[in-house]
Chains A and B, each alone.
Chain A
Amino acid sequence: MFIPGNNPGMMQDAHVYAPDSIMLDLEDSVTLEEKDAARLLVYNALQSVDYGEIEMVVRINPLGSPYGHKDVQAAVKAGAHVIRMPKTETAEEVVELEKAIEQIETSLGCVGRTKIMAAIESAQGVMNAFAIATASKRMMGIALGAEDYCANLKTSRSKEGAELLYARQTIVVAARAAGIDALDTVYSDLNDMDSFRAELRLIKQLGFDGKSIINPRQIEIVNEIFAPTQKEIEKACAILAGIKEAQKRGSGVIAVDGKMVDRPVVMRAQRCIDLAIASGIITKEDVYE
């Protein structure tokens, strides 16, 4: 969930809506005059607000701008889990960010703590998606930024999203090939939840791991679409229980409902349970008790 880095009220209690990840933004939602104040606010929010188990991301300004390196410094020092790099176009940019992070982490004695997410927001970025996704071992995901991408493509966003199809598929394939997450762009019309639902169904089918949102009201709908059904959860539970049982017996292969369960099936089952927990349908205790 995107939270403007200049809004202390929202930073203060964004976590009560239980998003999976909160992205405190220092880039587009903050005006030039407020860049320094917002950086200070974000730093202090990360230091003082109890965000619990929510993944904390900071979107920095481009490294080439006068603010980018200061943003990295503040975010890494404050202990952000992930730094989101905007408008990423090449692998070299990722490497530059990695170096900056590593330098700060070295001085703090916490090398390897901060992960990187790259936002791909241009045609060049899409063409380089795989190179970007594999540019650093810190990469945890790549995300589509549709507004800038559409401007760059000389088109505009439509409800159906035909203009984004290539970028979306490229990003998902690149992320999968690199073994990291693929995250979809925001949907900004808060008064059209039906179209938001339709877009979620589309990106889920394309293979995305999640969607960026701009308002807590969107969380429930994302969970609704991404959440597994009760039947899927039951099946996943049966598979995981079967595997546990099989491991006890020293066997790696089992059958559930007469079908052989191999590694990809187990991984899908685990993913299903993770999603069910993330969506609040079941709790950890339900599965692991």
Chain B
Amino acid sequence: MNKIANRVKQIEAMAQKTGFPVYSEGKNPLVRGKIATPRKELQQASPKLVSLEEAIRQSGLKDGMTISFHHHFRSGDKVINMVVDKLAEMGFKHLHLAASSLIDVHEPLIAHIRNGIISRISTSGLRGALGAAISHGLMDEPVIFRSHGGRAAAIANGELHIDVAFLGAPSCDSLGNACGYAQGENVKSICGSLGYAKVDAQYADKVVIITDSLMPYPNTPNSISERDVDFVVEVDSIGDAAKISSGAIRDSKNPRDLLLAQTAAKVVINGGYFQNGFSIQTGTGGASLAVVKFIREKMIEKNIKASFALGGITTHMVKLHEEGLIERLIDVQSFDRGAAESLINNRMHKEVSANEYASALEIGSAVHWLDMVILSALEVDVNFNANVLVGSDGVIRGAIGGHPDTAADAALSIIVCPLLRGRIPCVVDEVTTLITPGTSVDVIVTDYGVAVNPNRPEIAERLKVAHVNVVQIHDLKEKARKIIGDADPLPFGERTVGIVMSRDGSVMDIVRNIKDK
């Protein structure tokens, strides 16, 4: 007789042998029993859906722990200030704030640092009053600066351990399926890719999604899966929609930008990598956007198509994609509304995490497969080193971003930089702060000529054949010096206010405090 009752002994024996418990109805507390409530009602009562204060309490956050944020909302972001205000109100101290980047709108952090709520910061960059205050010695602990790829790698390998991630999301359902936009639904704001946040969601001990557009389950597609999310907090507003995704950046009419762009385009077209199936990344400055325009004309003329464009994606790149000139877009951060909307509309527009984008430690990260990148810089020096973080006045005013990642891994890395900005020389003997080492920079495009790294004589040859004005980097530096003269040394103090991490996890440089003159 083959009945369960007759097999009990055998079941028990096998359970004992395999180490599993014997089944008993309702015995495992992790498995939910049957509930008869209509599911729409049940979703609204999702146990993950709590207030911000409750999420913080339940997350187990303690003094001294690490909290993280992303900067996909740019200057529209309200999440960081909202959460840190709440943490201050709840009496937390000595927290480590690890953001993918910090910008002007995060100026209120200055008070929280003074009050001891935040005592350590890790970020890609600092701007505005916060950068200035930290440069002047606001913090006891130096800020740790990492590139986007470097941060993702540090989180993945545990060097940067996140206890609780607070991640703003333009759309999320009550179970935590979060996205930077929403398919077919009206949300208050869209930011497109949530590439930087995806890393935090994957590796943080606890993940809190903060949204102002709570979607019906299931919120599809999602950037962040409910599997990685512990709490969902609904708020009135995560940020200023107009600033989270601005309209397409207008084409520059500045003659200098256009000259730089035209020259950079010549380098792209004649550098040896402009062939069918090439891949490219460009920035968002006036010159970078204009480069796209010039390259586009040449792609059409020569019937050349790109396999993918990478990085921060802009409306300019989307247009080329929609014209069929770029097959795929790989997007860690959507720079404007057009790019964010393209993620909704274009199937070949792919959202990737910062690890998939630029980690030095992942073989598959997209930068490893990049032919060309066009970057800008605050300063470059005669050894082709670049600085994108600290201004010529010694004040932290920029962000590392993906600069060293893309420069190191692209087959041809091009930095576009005017020789002078007002009375500030941009080609100098030695950069104020070393961010991207010269060994990874191949070409520097200025309005006074193009310098090619001596490591890449073949590129210099190709450019000369194409009548590009190839000059020596030392001559550029001399030209700048002749026009501007020699600057007084910067009044740096003895304290270290910033540590620049290389993308491989080693210390590359330090930033010292700047003294008032």
Q: Which residues of A are at the interface with B, using a C-beta cutoff of 8 A?
A: 9, 12-13, 16-17, 49-50, 190, 215-217, 280, 283
Give every chain B residue within 8 A of A13 (Cβ-Cβ).
256, 419-420, 447-448
Q: How far is the CA of A283 from the CA of B468 in the complex (A)?
A: 11
Identify 11 new A-B residue pairs, CB closer than 8 A, beyond the known A16-B259, A16-B448, A217-B253: A9-B422, A12-B420, A13-B419, A13-B448, A16-B256, A50-B479, A216-B259, A217-B255, A217-B258, A280-B467, A283-B467
Whether the Cβ atoms of A17 and B467 lie closer than 8 Å is no
List the A side residues contacting B253 at CB < 8 Å: 190, 217
- Known interface pairs A280-B467, A283-B467; A17-B483 also in contact (CB < 8 Å): no
- A194 vs chain B, min Cβ distance (A): 16
**A216 in contact with B467 given A13-B447, A16-B447, A16-B448 (CB within 8 Å):** no
Q: Which residues of the other chain, A, contact B258 by a CB distance below 8 angstroms? A: 216-217
* Residues of chain B at interface, number, CB under 8 A: 13
CA distance A9 to B422 in the complex (A): 8
Alpha-carbon distance A283/B469, docked complex (angstroms): 11
With the chains together, A211 CA to B256 CA distance in Å? 21
A49 contact set on B, CB distance < 8 A: 483
Q: Which residues of A contact B420 (CB under 8 A)?
A: 12-13
How many inter-chain contacts with C-beta < 8 Å in the A-B complex? 26
What string of 1s and 0s marks CB contacts (under 8 Å) between B442-473 and chain A?
00000110000000000000000001000000
For the complex of A and B, the 4 pairs showing the least CB-CB separation, nearest first, are: A216-B255, A16-B447, A217-B255, A16-B448
Per the bound structure, the CA–CA distance linking A9 and B419 in Å amounts to 13
Q: List B contacts of A50 (CB < 8 A).
A: 479
Instruction: State the CA gap A280–B253 with chains docked (Å).
Output: 22
Whether A12 contacts B483 in the complex (CB less than 8 A), given A217-B253, A283-B467, comes out as yes
A9 to B467, CA, bound (A): 27
Write out the residue numbers on chain B whose beta carbons fall within 8 Å of the beta carbon of A215. Answer: 255
User: Which residues in B have some Cβ–Cβ distance to A below 8 Å?
Assistant: 253, 255-256, 258-259, 419-420, 422, 447-448, 467, 479, 483
Neighbouring B residues of A12 by C-beta, 8 Å: 420, 483
What is the distance, in angstroms, from A52's C-beta to the closest C-beta of chain B? 11
Residue of A nearest to B467 (CB): A283
B295 to chain A, nearest CB (A): 16
Can you name 5 A-B residue pairings with CB atoms under 8 Å? A17-B259, A216-B255, A216-B259, A217-B253, A217-B255
Give B479's nearest chain A residue, CB to CB. Answer: A50
Shortest Cβ distance from residue B262 to the other chain A in the assembled complex, whole angstroms: 8
The complex places the Cα of A13 from the Cα of B256 at a distance, in Å, of 9
Contact of A17 among B255, B419, B479 (CB under 8 A): B255
Chain A residues within an 8 Å CB radius of B447: 13, 16
CA gap between A12 and B484 in the complex, in Å: 11
- In the complex, chain B residues whose CB is within 8 Å of the CB of A217: 253, 255, 258
Taking CB as reference atom, which chain A residue is nearest B263?
A16
Residues in B whose Cβ lies below 8 Å from that of A17: 255, 259
Closest to B418 in A: A13
Nearest CB on A from B475, distance (A): 11
Which A residues are in CB contact (< 8 Å) with B479? 50
User: How many angstroms between the C-alpha atoms of A184 and B256 in the bound complex?
Assistant: 25
Q: In the bound complex, what is the Cα–Cα distance between A280 and B468 (angstroms)?
A: 10
Beta-carbon nearest neighbor of A14 in chain B: B255
Cα A13 to Cα B449 in complex, Å, equals 12
Q: Which among B255, B258, B420, B483 has the greatest number of chain A C-beta atoms within 10 A?
A: B255
- B419 contact set on A, CB distance < 8 A: 13
Chain A residues within an 8 Å CB radius of B483: 12, 49
CA distance A190 to B483 in the complex (A): 30
Alpha-carbon gap, A253 to B467, bound state (A): 34
Q: Nearest Cβ in chain B — how far from A276, in angstroms?
A: 12
A50 to B258, CA, bound (A): 22
Shortest B40–chain A CB gap in Å is 55
Residues from chain B with a CB closer than 8 A to the CB of A190 are 253
Alpha-carbon gap, A95 to B437, bound state (A): 62
Contacting residues, chain A, for B255 (C-beta < 8 A): 17, 215-217
The chain A residue sitting closest to B262, CB to CB, is: A220
CB-defined contacts of B256 to chain A, threshold 8 Å: 13, 16
Q: Give Cα distance in the complex from A17 to B256, angstroms.
A: 8
**Looking across the interface, which residue of chain A has its beta carbon closest to that of B469?**
A18
Bound Cα distance A9, B420 (Å): 10
Closest residue of chain A to B446 (Cβ to Cβ) is: A16
- Please name the residue on chain B nearest to A49 by beta carbon: B483
Q: How far is the CB of B213 from chain A (nearest CB, A)?
A: 40
Tell me the bound Cα distance from A142 to B303 in angstroms. 45
A279 to chain B, nearest CB (A): 11
Chain A residues positioned under 8 Å from B448 (CB to CB):
13, 16
- Chain A CB count within 10 A is highest, among B256, B259, B448, B483, for B259
Specify which of A9, A12, A16, A283 lies most central, judged by the most chain B CB atoms within 10 Å of its CB.
Answer: A16
- Chain A contacts of B422 at CB under 8 A? 9
Closest to A220 in B: B262
Measured in the bound complex, the distance between the Cα atoms of B419 and A283 in whole Å is 25
Provide the bound-state CA to CA distance between A184 and B356, in Å: 57
* Residues of B close to A283: CB separation below 8 A: 467
Q: Contacts of B259 on A, CB cut-off 8 Å?
A: 16-17, 216
Tell me the complex Cα distance, A200–B256, Å.
Answer: 23
Least Cβ–Cβ distance between A54 and chain B, in angstroms:
14
A115–B226 Cα distance when bound, in Å, is 79
CA–CA, A217 and B483, complex, Å? 24
B contact residues around A280 at 8 Å (CB): 467
Nearest CB on A from B257, distance (A): 10
How far is A280 from B422 in the complex, measured between Cα atoms in Å? 28
Report the Cα distance A283→B483, complex, angstroms. 28
Q: How far is the CB of B241 from chain A (nearest CB, A)?
A: 31
Residue of A nearest to B255 (CB): A216
Distance of A49 Cα from B447 Cα, bound (Å): 15
> How far is it, in angstroms, between the C-alpha of A18 and the C-alpha of B416 when the chains are bound?
19
CA–CA, A190 to B447, complex, Å?
Answer: 22
| Nearest CB in chain B: distance from A134 CB, A | 37
B residues near A216, Cβ cutoff 8 Å: 255, 258-259
A156–B258 CA distance with the chains assembled, in angstroms:
32
| B444 vs chain A, min Cβ distance (A) | 15
Please, how many angstroms separate the alpha-carbon atoms of A139 and B79 in the complex? 70
Report Cα–Cα, A217/B467, bound state, in Å: 20
Instruction: Give the docked Cα–Cα distance between A17 and B418 (Å).
Output: 13
Of the candidates A12, A17, A49, A283, the one having the most CB atoms from chain B within 10 angstroms of its own CB is A17
CB distance from B479 to the nearest CB of A (A): 8
Q: What separation, in Å, do the CA atoms of A216 and B419 have in the docked complex? A: 17
In the bound complex, what is the Cα–Cα distance between A49 and B484 (angstroms)? 11
State how many angstroms separate the Cβ of B255 from the closest Cβ of chain A.
4
Which one of A12, A215, A217 has the greatest number of beta carbons of chain B within 10 Å? A217
Interface core residue of A13, A217, A283 (most chain B CB under 10 Å):
A13
Instruction: Provide the bound-state CA to CA distance between A50 and B259, in Å.
Output: 19
Residue of B nearest to A218 (CB): B255
Nearest residue, chain B, Cβ from A15 = B448
- CB-nearest residue of chain B relative to A283? B467
A118 to B259, CA, bound (A): 31
Q: Bound state CA distance, A283 and B422, in angstroms? A: 32
